[in-house]
A and B are shown apart, each in its own frame.
Chain A
């Protein structure tokens, strides 16, 4: 398990943060040096060829996203890094920024060069104050060293990076809500189209990418698209991934491993197996908005297409495991309570639908529900699916849909017995 190439976590040491000297000792800023000798279009093309897909949850191909951006158009335009990481079970960006903040700064500078954006923002959630401080120090160091600011490495390209500290709310991770938040507006999502690439921050073309996504960019430039594709174990996949383990495991580390590693390897080798000698019942493979997977699906490779075929989503790579004693209704209720509370209140299916779903799940969990309530729950899911203004409510539906699909008997058992069958 130690033979996995460490790209993003290569400088990671327990309780320490690598700053410029250490970062450069391991090849830091070589990607940027190489990038500024290429044309911006060549950099974009290399990222496209690399097969890099967004690491923030949606998995959109980064190079393709960049083709929508008017990089060659003169004038005000922005690169924004989404560091709002607030999806329960997801803590990889925090671990990266605690360990090695220059990974992001260099990645952003290469991306900014590729997109020709003179201004870039890092949007950081409230709980990540140490990450924000690490980034500010890294920015100052990079400026001192001539990697950031005016005329970067003699290329004539100029870029400033600003850190924006937020004040809570999961919805800020939705890219258009994030743009409103950055502008100092109430962070409700915007209607799309127009997409941010056309009208984004302050009405100007903007690209929004996740922390881990951007941190991969300079490595792709330094080592090439083929090298990056070769890091993954699946044919269609590319790169390594930061996986954050949590839940009922003996160990819950955050680690870097190839795209395509199996759930079994993550859980058995890196998580030390299910805790207290118990068996696994289910897991969330990629954060709170990804449908449950079961113990029978452990050999599915962790990649976007393979997990989707298995009925879930790769998401953020945050794997939360539940042991055999877990009541899946109660776990789903906890998940839905999160989404209901974090709803921004903008649209009815989300604002009113999610609390109603929580109420129905609580009725089931406490043994007060009837079979009619179960039908109402199904109706609610149908009402919410595809009708909400942004993806938040859609994410909330994932675990509930999978609860009914995979654990239907357990749900009905609650109703038939008039109590939770997993509690004595």
Chain B
């Protein structure tokens, strides 16, 4: 596993927490930074966030478990969030979700054997004019067709395997 936070990040968060009147407001930033480094937030990440912000682990945990975009268990290098809300539903969202399951050989919540992709549903992504849509990491893809999904997955797979730093997700 990668370090929870880099030395620079750690110093920056400690400095900011010390300067702020309400350091607790940094909790989501901290959890997202840890997740960006590790792919998910392990117990040690919850403890570290608590230590930096002067909170008990359970005070961090009750926030971490509230949000569907904070992962408290390991996920693939790229998390695919497929919109299953009304506008995407009206334009073939269920078919997109079905196709992704078939193509990746996983069920919702599952991760591909190579550890690249995890598939999850999400509520509306605000891409209603480009339905059906999905989000991979922090990138939203709209106007999905089977062909377009194939291209996007190939690109994302390649990016996930490249040694360059990856985007959050």
Contacts and interface: CB of A to CB of B under 8 A. Distances in A.
Given A170-B123, A184-B25, A334-B89, 7 more contacts: A86-B124, A90-B124, A90-B128, A127-B138, A167-B28, A167-B69, A168-B70
A127 B126 contact: yes
Interface string A314-328: 000010101000100
Contacts of A182: 25
A244 B123 contact: no
A219 interface: no
A118 interface: no
A398 B11 CA distance: 49
A146 B75 CA distance: 44
Contacts of A335: 86
A87 B32 contact: no
B125 A127 contact: yes
Given A167-B70, A168-B67, A184-B26, A320 B90 contact: yes
A342 B123 contact: yes
B167 to A, nearest CB: 9
Interface residues of A, number: 52
A395 interface: no
A390 to B, nearest CB: 15
Contacts, number: 131
- Range, interface on chain B: 35 or more
B31 interface: yes
Interface in B56-75: 62-63, 66-70
Contacts of A244: 128-129
Interface in A82-111: 85-91, 93-95
B86 A129 contact: no
Interface in A203-224: none
B10 interface: no
Contacts of B138: 126-127, 129
Nearest to B87: A246
Given A165-B32, A185-B63, A128 B90 contact: no
Contact of A167 (B31, B84, B125, B126): B31
Contacts of B122: 127, 168
B140 interface: yes
Contact of A94 (B22, B68, B85, B126): B126
Contacts of B68: 167-169
A182 to B, nearest CB: 6
Interface string A324-356: 001000010011011001101000000000000
Interface string B127-146: 11111000100101000000
B129 A186 contact: no
Contacts of B29: 165
Contacts of A185: 24, 63
Interface in B29-58: 29, 31-32, 53
B22 A202 contact: yes
Top 6 closest A-B pairs, CB basis? A184-B24, A88-B85, A167-B67, A246-B128, A168-B69, A88-B124
B166 interface: no
B53 to A, nearest CB: 7
B82 to A, nearest CB: 12
Nearest to A172: B67
Contacts of B85: 88-89, 288, 334, 338
A95 B124 CA distance: 15
Interface in B88-108: 89-91
B63 A318 contact: no
A55 interface: no
B126 A331 contact: no
Interface stretch (A36-44, A151-159, A232-240, A248-256): A248-256
Contacts of A127: 122, 125-126, 135, 138, 140
B129 A252 contact: yes
A165 B123 contact: no
A418 interface: no
B90 A326 contact: yes
Contacts of B124: 86-90, 288, 338
A126 B120 CA distance: 15
Contacts of B4: none
13 contacts: A88-B85, A88-B124, A94-B126, A95-B129, A126-B138, A164-B25, A165-B29, A166-B28, A183-B22, A186-B66, A248-B91, A320-B86, A338-B85
A88 B22 contact: no
A365 to B, nearest CB: 13
A338 B85 CA distance: 7
